Structure 1
Amino acid sequence: MNTNQLPKAVQELLENNKKQATDHQELIRSGGYLPPSEELLVDAIVALSMGKNILLKGPTGAGKTKFAETLSSLFERPMYSVNCSVDLDAESLMGFKTLAYEEEKQTIQFVPGPVTNAMKQGSFLYIDEINMAKPETLPLINGVLDYRRTITNPFTNEIVTAAEGFGVIAAINEGYIGTVPLNEALKNRFIVIDVPYIQGEQLEQLINDSTNLTDKQLISHFVTLSNDLITAVSQGKLSEDAASIRALLDACDLSIYLPPKRAILRSIVDKLEEDREKSFVENLADTLF
């Protein structure tokens, strides 16, 4: 990537954040996101530095939330989160009114929600599983996601304009039960970054940094197991849940005190719905452990 093609202000932001990325290696290693390639981190930094919204797209357990948390730390900005579901409503986004007491008098106060807080404070807003929300709910924040960066609070009629530094990071798992396709108007408001599973040496590093497992041979076997699971998912033999990196890390931790195959059973196999998939994963585990 030729950073000289970017505006000078963005070049400076990018260089500062890349330096911060180096300075924050301990933070990343202690639970942050270890990207499969530097390009993912650079692209996200550039987009956010330019005031773009980013949409992290990838399978469950690939590290999208950790990626968002790491970006928040690198920019040194707080992050307010919205967890989408069919029950998501305007109050969940903007806030709600409640009764309070001032000098023994009952009053009505407004408690700001994540969208309001993030906009006023110039921090990040993280919208998790954005395609789980009802299609009629998200248009409320269309103005937040485009050049206007403005919204009228339906509960107070206050016009809220985002402070400098405000940014939006969303995450999406496509094809899961309960999800709906994003409409084009919403999708066009984001820069999309595909977040794949990490593999090989980077996964080995993540296991070393994020779990208490120290047995090098076991770690090597878990890395191989993960690769086999990801391959099976790509071939349509397993659902994406089976290859969750989050579940694999749980198995690594449990294997310190439990036999590895039992750790895999509790962390991965028992989460699967189909007996065929359970048997497939157990057979893979049998060949390695």
Structure 2
Amino acid sequence: MDITKDLPQNITNLIEQHKYTGETDFDYLVGEGGYIPQSEDLLTDLIVAIAQGKNILLKGPTGSGKTKLAETLSSLFNQPLFSVNCSVDLDVESFVGFKTIDYQDGKQIIDYVPGPLVQAMKNGHFLYIDEINMAKPETLPVINGVLDYRRQITNPLTNEVIKAKEGFNVIAAINEGYIGTTRLNEALKNRFIVIDVSYLQGEQLKNLIKNNTNLNDEKLINQYVQLSHDLIAATQQGKVSEDAASIRALLDACDLSEMIPPKRAIRRAIVNKLEDDREQDVVQNLADMLFE
């Protein structure tokens, strides 16, 4: 599905002007695409921001497709996407790389293995930082200079000053309010263009299911679209957590439903992931009302 076919000509021209056409050893890191944006404006704004070299912060609930959206931008611009998955254990080496012992001409040497940040900067590719607010606050300042007008970093392991090659962009994702996350420093957040990513619904979700799962039964697809709508409403009412409305989990259930009964598929892909018995009952009751 061509998600750019309805975009204005000047926006599609931007993609062509900034699409990566050089040779690279990292073709395998180019995303496959597949994200269907909830609005034309969202896709237009992202394309403009990327073309202007802006840093992008994707903000939305878990399972809303932020990673898939980053991969789709990678596909649109034919740009390899280096990734950092943040956690409380994330350290500077996770960004810049590490030193290791190697052998050269029979002698032991200390070799440096560049990390995803260094690789993306030197090659002019994209860097995706997932769940950036999971990282320890003391780790993130290493990228401050990368995110502002300087577009450079002094590698703490080698003392090399690295200036980003043209084409380098940072795309980060954030889930606010989750256990283990911290509030993103305002100075850091101000270095990003913030894009809200919400759950897909209606026809957009229907197209996503058709294009990204094995399910082709029209009736079942419509029932899953309704289930997603009901789960989102339940999260807004405080009956279940956002995990229950994850589009990722819904797509898993759709795939399973090609071979097993839908209610069982929903139990495996959605219900059993929830730790609260009350939430499990809410989801199962919604499924029972929709599916035979």
> What TM-score do the two structures reach when normalised by structure 2?
0.90
Query: 1:81: Cα distance to partner?
Result: 0.2
Structure 1: how far apart are the matches of 2:272 and 2:143? Answer: 39
Aligned to 1:8: none
- Give the conservation status (yes or no) of the 8 Å contact 1:33–1:70: yes
Aligned to 1:48: 50
Change beyond 3 A, Cα 1:251–1:20: farther
Aligned to 1:120: 122
Q: Alignment length, in residue pairs?
A: 271
Query: 1:124: Cα distance to partner?
Result: 0.4
Query: 1:99: Cα distance to partner?
Result: 1.0
- Give the conservation status (yes or no) of the 8 Å contact 2:129–2:171: yes
Matches within 5 A, 1:93-172: 93-172=95-174
Query: 1:20: Cα distance to partner?
Result: 10
Match of 2:92 among 90, 93, 97: 90
Q: Could you report, residue by residue, the CA deviation over 1:39-63 in whole angstroms, capped at 9, with x for unpaired residues?
A: 1111011111111100000011100
Q: Could you report, residue by residue, the CA deviation over 1:102-157 in whole angstroms, capped at 9, with x for unpaired residues?
A: 11111111000000000000000000000000011001110001110010000000
Matches within 5 A, 1:6-17: 15-17=13-15
Aligned to 1:60: 62
Identity of aligned residues (%): 70
Structure 2: how far apart are the matches of 1:164 and 1:269? Answer: 46
Aligned to 2:280: 278
Structure 1: how far apart are the matches of 2:101 and 2:183? Answer: 38
Structure 1: how far apart are the matches of 2:14 and 2:47? Answer: 10
Q: Could you report, residue by residue, the CA deviation over 1:181-227 in whole angstroms, capped at 9, with x for unpaired residues?
A: 00101100000000010000111111111111111111110000000
Aligned to 1:260: 262
Aligned to 2:245: 243
Structure 1 residue 211 corresponds to structure 2 residue 217 = no
Change beyond 3 A, Cα 1:31–1:145: closer
Letter in 1 for 2:55: N
- Give the conservation status (yes or no) of the 8 Å contact 2:33–2:71: no
Query: 1:12: Cα distance to partner?
Result: 5.8
Query: Where do 5+ consecutive residues of structure 2 fail to align?
Result: 1-8, 20-31
Q: Extract structure 1 runs of 4+ deviating beyond 4 A.
A: 11-14, 18-21
Query: 1:15: Cα distance to partner?
Result: 2.3
Q: Could you report, residue by residue, the CA deviation over 1:249-269 in whole angstroms, capped at 9, with x for unpaired residues?
A: 000011111111010000000
Query: 1:18: Cα distance to partner?
Result: 7.7
**Structure with greater proportional helix content:** 1
- Give the conservation status (yes or no) of the 8 Å contact 2:253–2:262: yes
Aligned to 1:75: 77
Query: 1:158: Cα distance to partner?
Result: 0.2
Match of 1:222 among 218, 221, 224: 224
Structure 1: how far apart are the matches of 2:232 and 2:119? Answer: 39
Structure 2: how far apart are the matches of 1:130 and 1:18? Answer: 30
Letter in 1 for 2:95: L
Query: Where do 5+ consecutive residues of structure 1 fail to align?
Result: 1-10, 22-29
- Comparing 193-202 and 100-109, the one that deviates more: 100-109
